[in-house]
Each structure stands twice: as structure tokens, then as C-alpha cells.
Amino acid sequence: MTALLGLPPIGRQAPSEDVAEALRELTAIEFQIGETATDIDVTVAPAQLTQLVEALQARPKLAFDFLRNIVGIDFTPEGMALKYQFYSFRWGHGLQVTVPTSVGHPRVPSIVRFYPAADWHEREAAEMFGFVFDGHPNPKNLLLEEDLHIHPLLKAHPLQPAEILQGIEEGPPGFKI
Amino acid sequence: MTPFLASGAIFGIWNWTDAIIRILIIVLVMTVVVVYLTYGERKVIARFQQRLGPTRTGPAGLLQGLADALKLVAKEDLRPATADRWVFEFAPYATFIPVLMVLVVLPFAEDWGVRNLALGMFFVFAVLGLNIVGMLMAGLGSGNKFALLGGIRAAAQMISYEIPLVLSLLSVAMIARTLDLNAIAAGQSFTPESGQHAPYVVLQPLAFLIFFTAMLSELHRAPFDIPVAESEIVGGYFVEYSGIRWSMFQLTEYASMWAWSVFGSVVFLGGWAVPDTHTWAGPDWAWQLGITLIKSLAWIIAIMWIRVTVPRLRIDQLMSFCWKVLLPLALAQLLANGFILEYDGPDILLTLTSALGAVALLALIIFRAVKRPKSKLVGTYRQVQVSTP
Amino acid sequence: MSIWPEERVLAPGAAEFDSVDMTINIGPQHPATHGVFRMVLTVDGEVVVDCEPYIGYLHRGLEKLTENNDYRQAMGYWDRTDYLAGMACEVPYCMAVERIAGIEVPERAEYIRVIMAELSRINSHFMFAGAFGADVGSFGTSFIYAWRERERIYDLFEEVAGDRMFPTYIRIGGVAMDLPDNFEQRCRWVLGSIRQGIEDLDGLLTGNEIFVERCRNLSPLTSERAIALGVTGPLLRATGLQWDLRKAEPYGIYDRMKFDIPWRADLQGDIFDRFWMRLAEMYQSARIIEQCLDEMPKSGLVLNPDLPKTLRIDKGECYFRYEGTKGEYGVYAYARGGNKPYRMKLRSPSFCNLSALREMVVGNYIADAIIILGSLDIVLGEVDK
């Protein structure tokens, strides 16, 4: 079965320079390469995310076939960001893609059609932060109640007892869900 | 001697009074048996699973069954708002009464039963078929989808398995040349000079296997507990019942297990007649009652043993096993018996043909298991391939 | 003549029948959902046409809580994610924080962590095997067999850490306290008992014809599809792909351990292979623990002595991945000064595996849907965070 994926199965970790070099061939996309404690980090604008993801999946030198995780972060007042973690079973390397969004416009294209695994991750990020994923097939709340439109992981979201959040009791003056 | 006095009545009174007294006795005995069967099942299964089972209520937990019964009677009897009232409330009785009616004809010792019917065996499977009605009533009347699925599953399963069951019993009836249960038992007492046969489990091993399998299915015991599967449909047709009505279902389950065990041991193991107690010291009836008790207990423990060991089949596997395997084999058995009995073949021929069929049934299952690509599986988790990093 | 149908055929004329689909709500209170999980099955008779999972009944706001607690205070929330393997959740949390803070861990503590994590893995897999047997319909026997070994492991945890399920024993920079004196002897005894337990379950379930018939060829999964759906852990390895983070991206001291990733030539990712894979993994985990006991430094520090009183991390970002009991247990940590993380995110393996449920269930029988759900081995604490 491992032969189907092309290469010896495990333990092959390409040096991170290989990934950086392969990324530099993508001249049509504007991005910056950085680094985290574990992966290479690529920052790209939301408008070019689809293009980048398509290239990440299709280019044989990159071949990122596995979406590990999608993380949303609230950088208020500088807007928000999404972090996508990818992994390539073929080459054994990982990559993080950062997509910063501007204040008040948390719109990002959905990548479900490239990675089916992104479905639930995107729904979670959408309900927790208020991101809008364009083209998501089933944009409903996942972990929260279906008609509860609050975004608890925003830094502005106050720490309050559940009764106040659910509207059973009255919150402090000026508090709005 | 007036016609009102039954010749064999133990109380020497009018026939109908005698019948009522006997029915009362059998109902009381059945209640006690059921209470201690639940206790026994919990105890036996606990030992199979390295546990102790009930120990706290009474000495060695002996009063546990009574405590459970008391609790169930005291519980509130709930009825869902969406239930069909009369169907829902009568369903437990509709399942219970057929089992009670079966107990009427079972011979626990020579001529010891409520009534000894000339068509006893026919009566048993005619009456037990009525069980399905109660289960369907419970399933449809509860207004619950799990109950509906359970009721439909129960109906499909019981109707299917009734056929091999009846055919396997017919092949015994052909040899016995009677449907009277007392005569069937007496016919197995194994004395060649009187022309009696060996127990029918020796003469008809295939029929015995088919009967045992189909009986498990009729009883909804593992591996055929599909209509009441706890992990899938949470109890099936009786999911909405509580209190006394739920305990009626429980009563039905254990009473029918007991009834089937006695019936099976009468038909296949010789009932009270094997071994022959007529030459033993002491009263015949006491020996015979003891023999019946031991045989039915062995039968019940076999059922419990199977329950703790095997997982559950899926409904399509269950159905195809019935229609594709059990039914053709039962028919072949019937046909072979017909030929042998028509030409007055010896008993050994009956044994041989039936044993051949039994071996074929087992071989089919074993062959099927061995043919599978992963046949030798046990212990393979230790031999894994060394991976090279 | 075959006993079981090789393929599910329609009855003659079934195509012309007008049948109405029915929806069945399974959960949140249902014995087979392993917690508070709900799925709505649309069934046509006994066949599942559609399945919609609903989660979130156990959502406790793990990430928000972590953001508002000190690095050390938040520990207690993390071992409540995969509550069947508490220790195996504390380790990745601590390792992620150590990664961004650059904290060293003493060697003896590394060994202790591996022992505890592998014991937790065995614990969790035993729970799977027992509960899976119950799902398939074995009347609690497999459950009790598994429970016997789990009790012994929990007793060992209690001796070591003072608590059974949620020990909070692993600390940032090491472990909370040293092992008790007779630990090695006790642990070897427990390992012997575990091996016997695996044998028992193997004999009871793997050796059972009905069990194999139920699970064989049910909802097989190819490696490619598993990767696309984000399925990891034993489920991915059961498809035949030898991928284990302990080998692919070794962390801690796993590069010193000799163990195999279970593999058989005829793995196809069906329900049976998932069961088999977990049995084999328990066996390999026992091997790892034995090596740790042999090679472990007999004395020494178990907690980094240079840690500050309050841990403050100025800047750091990492996505730490760990081979959890259910799959890739990823911890994303982002620090921006202060004694609290700015953002912590759990990539929980159960969550990702469960998202593939719909695709596996559709087209099978209701009874199969239950055991497919059981074979995913979800823990709702981890799914709902």
C-alpha cells in the first residue's frame, strides 16, 4: 500500500531548504517565508490562498496531501489570521500557511474541495471566530448550538457565566451577545 | 365413574376443577422458576466473566430475584403520549399468554402435566407462533422507531426460523409416529425388546442442531438477539415499557426459555423416560421430575454459555443462514427419513444419514472460515513486519 | 451454497417498491455512542442512506480556558480531553510549551513520560477492544476482560501519581515526582498481566467466526482516501500505510526505542483490521515500556531545576504533533509574552476521524453503522474539546 504513495513510507524528512526552494518556484503568488519552532511558515493574502493551496497539492516537489489542522487567531486590533498546517506523506515534510485577514473582513476562500478534511475545521473556525469561508458546502455551527451566533474565542468575548451568554440572566450593562 | 371425573386426575375431582388447580400450580412454579432463572443467569454469566454476580441480597444473593420483582412491581407504569393505548397495554399479555399455553402440554414426568394432548407437539408450535403478534403489537404500538425496528425484526426473524424449526420437529414426529409428547418421550426409553428407540438426538443429530439453532432464534438469545439488540436498538420492541409491563416481557423471556428447554429435552433427549426409572427404588415421579429438571438446566446453561461467548449476527446474515442453509438441510433430512421409514430401514441408517447432514453443516461453516484469506488470525498481532525507518 | 451473501442483492421487484425513508435519532443517550454523541441516520428499511453527526454536547471551551489560565494551571484541562488516556494528553501539552519556551527535560523524566504515555495507550486500546466487543454484541465479556487490565493499570497510576484517570502528573520541564521504589517490579507484573489480557481478547474475539464475519470487508478504506479525510492513527495504519509519528517525526526519546509499526500483507482498512491493529499496537507498547524499564537511569532528577517560579514566554509559535492514542494529537501554541498562552489549539484525532464517519456509514446496515462508529474509537471529551 505504501508503494502507492510513491516513496519509502516513513522517517524520510526532507530538509526544510527543499520546501523553501520548491516554494520559490511559485512566482505567480506573493508570499513571505518565515519559520516557527516546528515548521516553515508561509504568509499569503486571502485572495491568493486558493492558488497557493492548489499548487501545494499538485506540484510534485511539494505534494502536500494531508491537511492537519486549521487554527484561527484573533490579533485584535490588527485583525485576525488563519493558520493551516499541511503535511506531505510523500516527502515527509510539514508546512504552515498563515492567512491574515483585515479588520472587519474575515473572508477566506474555503479549501474543502481540495482537502475534504477541511470541512469540520473550517466550520469550527467559522463559529469560534466569525470567519466566513466562501464556498463551504455546509456552513453550520458544529460545536455550539445551531442558533447561537456568538464567537467565543474572540479576545473581545467576555468571560461570563453560561446563564448570561444564553440569555437566561441579564448581563452587565452594555453587554451584548 | 361419572364422565366428570378424569381418569388420571391426581385430585380425583371434576375434570375442570382439576385443570384449574393444575394451571394454578404450574403458574406458581413458573414464577418461582423465572425468579431463580434470572438470579441463576446473573450468577452464571458473572462466573463466566470473572465476577461474582449478586451477593448482597440474602445468603449468596438468593433473594435478588425477589427484590428485583418487588422493585419492578412498585415502579411507575409509563405510557408514551404517542403510543396507541390499547395496543401498547395489551402487548405484554399477548406475548406472555402463548408461553403459558405451551406449559399446559409439557410432560414434566410420566403423565405429569396439566393435560396430555394427542396433538401436543402440533399444539406447541401452533401456539408459540402467536408470540409474534404480541411483539408486533409492542413494536407498532409504542410510537417509537427503535421499537418499530425491533418489532419488524422480531417478526421477520421468528417467521423465518419457524420453518426449519417445524421441519426438524416433523422429522422426529415421523420416527415417533405420534404427536403426543408423552408418547414421544416414552418412545425413547431405549429398550430394544419393546421396540423403543434411542433418544432422538442420537437418531437425528442434524434435526437436533437445527432445532437448537432455531430455538435460540425464537428465544432472541445470542447470537440471534437482533430484535432486542441493546447496542443497536436499545432493547427493541420493549424499549418504551417500564414497571410491571416490562417485567411481563422479562417473564415471557425466561418462561419461554424454560418451556423450550423442557420441550427440547422431551423431544430430543428423552425427557423423563431416559434413563428408565421404572426399576429404581423410590417413587417414579420424583426420579422423573429430577431427570427433567437436570436436562432442562443443562439446556439452559448451554444457552447462557453461548450468550456470553459469541457476538451478534447481522440481520441479512441471519436470514440467509436460515433460508440458504437450515431450510434445505431440514428438507433433505425430512426426505431421507421418508425413504428410510417407507422401506423399513434400521435405526442405524437414520443415525448415519442425519449425522452425515450434521457433519455437512459443520463442515460448511468450517470450510467457509478456512477459505477466508485471513483464516489463521489468532495470535497474529504478535508477528508484525519489522519496519525500516 | 454460501452462508453469507457476498454482495447485498435486492429482492426481485424491490426496485419498483415505493418505500419511505425513516430518520432515526441515535444519541445523545444511546449505549453505543460512547458518550454524548448524536447521529441522525436516514434509513431505508435497515440500510443507512444518510448520516449526519452532531457533536458539541461536551464542549467545555478548552481553548478559551487555556488562554485565560497560567501555563501550569491549564494542565488540568488538557488531561480531560482524551479522558481514557489522561497521561498521553498531558505529555503533548507540556512538550508544546517546552518547545516554545526552550525548556530542557531531564533524561529520567523523559523515560517516565514514555512509560506513562504508553501505559495510557494500552489503557485506551483496552477500552476500545472491550467496548467494541460490546458493540458487536458480545454480552459484556470482552468488556470485563478489558476492564480487568485497565483496573491494574489505573492502580499503577494511582501508586505513581495519586490519581487514576486525571493524574496531572506530567509537568512542564519533567514530571511531578519520582517513581515509587517498587515501581519497576510492579510495572513488570502489570505488563505480564497486560499480555495475558491481550491474549484473552484475541482468543475471545479474533478467534470468533461471527465476529470476523461481522467485521471483515466492512467499510474498507484506502490509504489515499484516509489521508484526504484527515484520518490518522490506528485507522490510517490499518489501511496498510506504515506511518506513525513516533517513527516519522520522533520526539522525546522515541528514536532510541525498538518497536515495529504493525503491518500485515492483507491489510485493507476494514473494521477487522482496525481491531487487529489496536491489539498489535498494545503489544508493541508493552515492548516499549519494557525497554524503558531496562534502559532508564536508576536515579536522577525528574524535574528541570532551573525553571522560573512563573513561566513567561515572550514569543513563540509551534505546532507540536504527537502520536496520541487515537491518532495525531496536535497542539498549536502561540505565545506573545505574559504567563498565559495567546492561543492554544488542539487538533484532536477523534474529531478528525469522526468527520469521516458519514462516508463510512452510508450504504451499510444500521447494525454496521454502530460498529463502524465503535471502530473509530472516539472519545467525546476530545471531539468536543
In Å, how far from its chain's centre is CA B145? 28
A172 inside 8 A of chain B by CB: no
Q: Which of A46, A155, A98 is nearest to C319 (CA)?
A: A98
**Cβ–Cβ gap A1/C229 under 8 Å:** no
Model confidence over B72-108: pLDDT tens digits? 889 888 888 888 888 888 899 899 889 888 888 888 8
Beta bridge partners of C41: C24, C51
Grid cell, residue C186, equals 510492579
B311 with B255, same domain: the answer is yes
Q: Using the beta-carbon criterion (under 8 Å), do C56 and A85 form an inter-chain contact? A: no
Using the Cβ of A18 and the Cβ atoms of chain C, whether some distance falls under 8 Å is answered with: no
Residue pair A143/C56 in contact (Cβ under 8 Å)? The answer is yes
Residues B173 and B58 in one domain: no
- What residues of B are in contact with residue C266 (Cβ under 8 Å)? 373-374
What interface predicted TM-score (ipTM) does this complex get?
0.84
Query: How near does any CA of chain C get to the CA of B332, in Å?
Result: 15
C346 sits in the region (left: phi over 0; alpha: psi -120 to 50; else beta) called: beta
Q: Choose among C156, C139, C137: nearest CA to C194.
A: C156
State the smallest CA–CA distance between residue B387 and chain A in angstroms.
9
Chain C residue whose CA is closest to A73: C343
Least Cα separation, residue C347 to chain B (angstroms)? 26
Cis preceding-peptide flag for B346 (omega within 30 of 0): no
Q: Which of B145, B223, B229 sits opposite C24 (nearest CB)?
A: B145
Residue B169: strand, helix, or coil: helix
Are both B99 and B171 inside the same structural domain? yes
Residue ranges of E strands in A88-152: 94-101, 107-109, 132-134
Q: Residue C92: pLDDT band by 50, 70, 90 thresholds?
A: very high
pTM of the model: 0.87
Q: Which amino acid is at B119?
A: L
Kindly list the residues from chain B whose CB atom is less than 8 angstroms away from the CB atom of residue A10.
387, 389
The C-alpha cell at B34 is 423465572
Residue of B nearest to C32 (CA): B231
Give the model confidence (pLDDT) of C163-188 as tens digits.
Answer: 888 888 998 988 988 898 899 999 99
- Does position A1 have pLDDT exceeding 50, yes or no? no
- State which residue of chain C sits closest to A117, comparing Cα positions: C229
Structural domain boundaries enclosing B102:
77-276+285-369
Question: Do B145 and C24 form a contact (C-beta atoms < 8 A)?
Answer: yes
Residue the block writes with cell 442405524? B348
Residue C152's Cα: distance from chain center in Å?
A: 19
The angle subtended at Cα C150 by Cα C145 and Cα C155, nearest 5°, is 135
Q: Percentage of residues in chain B with pLDDT exceeding 90?
A: 8
pLDDT at position A5, please?
A: 42
- The Cα B16–Cα C109 span in angstroms is 85
- Count of CB atoms within 10 A of residue C241's CB? 24
Q: What kind and span of H or E run contains B219?
A: helix B205-219
Residue-wise pLDDT for B16-38, tens only, equals 787 788 888 888 988 898 899 99
Q: Is A10 on the interface with B (CB under 8 A)?
A: yes
Q: Which residue of A has its CA nearest to B389?
A: A11
Neighbours of chain B (3+ CB pairs under 8 A): A, C
Beta bridge partners of C44: C47
The mean pLDDT of C89-109, rounded to a whole number, is: 89
Q: pLDDT band at A163, cuts 50/70/90?
A: low
Q: Do A13 and C332 count as a contact with CB atoms less than 8 A apart?
A: no
| Residue range C211-265, pLDDT digits in tens | 888 888 888 888 888 998 989 999 998 998 888 888 888 888 888 888 888 888 7
- Which residues on chain A are in Cβ contact (under 8 Å) with C242? 2, 9-10
**Set of chain C residues whose Cβ sits within 8 Å of the Cβ of A38:** 99, 318-321
Residue in C384, C342, C341, C310 with CA at minimum distance from that of residue C33: C384
Q: Is B330's pLDDT higher than 60?
A: yes
Whether C67 shows a pLDDT value over 80: the answer reads yes
From C260, C282, C365, residue closest to B316, measured CB to CB = C365
Q: Report yes or no: A11 at the B interface, CB cutoff 8 Å.
A: yes
Mutate to test the interface with C, among B307, B314, B327 (most CBs of C within 10 A): B314
**At residue A176, does pLDDT exceed 80?**
no
Is A138 at the interface with chain C, CB within 8 A? no
Cβ-based contacts under 8 A for chains A and C: 116
Q: In 3-state terms, what secondary structure has residue C321?
A: strand
Number of domains in chain B: 2
Residue of chain B nearest A12, judged by CA positions: B389
Residue with the larger pLDDT of the pair C194 and B4:
C194
Which CATH class name applies to C62-384? Answer: mainly alpha
* Cβ count near B27 (within 10 Å): 12
Nearest CA in chain C to B223: C137
Q: What is the pLDDT of residue A167?
A: 67
Question: Do C228 and A153 make contact, defined as CB atoms within 8 angstroms?
Answer: no
Are the beta carbons of C381 and C82 closer than 8 angstroms? Answer: yes
CA of B250 to nearest chain C CA: how many angstroms apart?
17
Neighbouring chains to A with at least 3 Cβ pairs closer than 8 Å: B, C
CB C89 within 8 A of CB C329: yes
Domain coordinates of chain C in residue numbers?
20-54, 62-384
What percent helix, strand, coil does chain C show, rounded to 5? 45, 10, 40
| Interface contact flag, C68 A159, Cβ < 8 Å | yes
Is C272 at the interface with chain B, CB within 8 A? yes
Q: Give the residue from chain B lying closest to C204, CA to CA.
A: B309
Q: Do B91 and B150 have their domain in common?
A: yes
| Partner C contacted by A145 (CB < 8 A) | yes
pLDDT interval class at C282 (50, 70, 90):
very high
**Mean pLDDT rounded to a whole number for chain C:** 87
Instruction: Give the closest-approach CA distance of B145 to chain A in angstroms.
Output: 25
**A4 pLDDT band (50/70/90 cuts)?**
very low
C-alpha–C-alpha distance, residues C154 and C148, integer Å:
10
* Higher per-residue pLDDT: B71 or A36: B71
The model's pLDDT over B128-173, given as tens digits with 9 standing for 90+, comes to: 888 888 888 988 888 888 888 888 889 889 888 989 999 999 888 8
Region of C39 please: left (phi>0), alpha (psi -120 to 50) or beta: beta
The three grid cell numbers given for residue C22, joined into one nine-digit string: 425513516
Q: Which of the other chains make 3 or more beta carbon contacts under 8 angstroms with chain C?
A: A, B
Q: What are residue C303's DSSP bridge partners?
A: C174
Mean pLDDT of C303-324: 87
3-class DSSP state of C191: helix
Give CATH for domain A2-165.
3.30.460.80
Q: Rounded to the nearest 10 degrees, what angle do helices B327-342 and B347-371 cross at? A: 160
| Chain B residue with the nearest C-alpha to that of A10 | B389
Let me know: does C47 contact C59? Beta carbons within 8 Å.
Answer: no
Whole-number pLDDT of residue B194 = 65
Amino acid in position B372? R
Among C residues 325-344, those touching chain A with beta carbons less than 8 Å apart: 328, 330, 332, 334, 342-343
**Residue B5 reports pLDDT greater than 60:** no
CA distance B251 to B34: 7
Going by pLDDT thresholds of 50, 70 and 90, the confidence category of residue A151 is confident
Residue B345 is placed in which grid cell?
Answer: 430401514
Nearest Cα to C371, choosing from C48, C2, C83, C9? C48
Residue B387 has pLDDT above 60, yes or no: no
- Distance of residue A11 Cα from the nearest chain B Cα, in angstroms: 5
Which pLDDT does position B7 carry in this prediction?
A: 44
Please check whether residue A68 touches C, CB under 8 A: yes
Amino acid at position C52, single letter: E
Residue that is written with C-alpha cell 431405549 in the block: B190
Is residue B68 domain-shared with residue B191, that is, in the same domain?
no
Cα C195 from chain centroid (whole Å): 19
Q: At what angle do helices B205-219 and B145-176 cross, to 10 degrees?
A: 160
Q: Is B242 exposed, middle or buried (0-12, 13-18, 19+ CB in 10 A)?
A: middle
Task: State the average pLDDT for chain B.
Answer: 83
Q: Using a CB–CB cutoff of 8 Å, tell me whether B389 touches chain A.
A: yes
pLDDT at B389: 43
CA-based radius of gyration for chain B: 23
**Considering chain A, what is the average pLDDT of its residues?**
80
Indicate whether B380 belongs to any domain.
no
Percent of chain C with pLDDT over 70: 95
Residue A72, strand partner residues: A82
Q: How many CB atoms lie within 10 A of CB A174?
A: 5
Least CB-CB distance to C137: which of B149, B311, B387?
B311
Nearest C-alpha of chain C: how many angstroms from A143? 4
* Higher pLDDT among residues C378 and A17, named by residue: C378
Of chain C, the percentage scoring pLDDT greater than 90 comes to: 25
What distance lies between CA B385 and its chain's CA centroid? 48
State how far residue A92 is from chain C, nearest Cα, in angstroms: 8
> Tens of pLDDT along A104-140?
888 899 998 889 889 899 999 998 888 999 888 888 8
Residue B13, by phi and psi: left (phi above 0), alpha (psi -120 to 50) or beta? beta
Residues of B in contact with A13 (CB under 8 A): none
pLDDT above 80: residue B6:
no
pLDDT band at C4 (very low <50, low <70, confident <90, very high): very low
Domain end among B56, B74, B92: B74
Residue of A nearest to C353 (CA): A117
CB neighbours of residue A133 within 10 Å = 23
* Nearest CB neighbour to C211, from listed B231, B311, B389: B311
How confident is the model at residue C231, as a pLDDT? 92
User: Residue C294 carries which side chain, given as an amino acid letter?
Assistant: D
Q: Which of A1, A38, A117 has the CB atom closest to C229's CB atom? A: A117
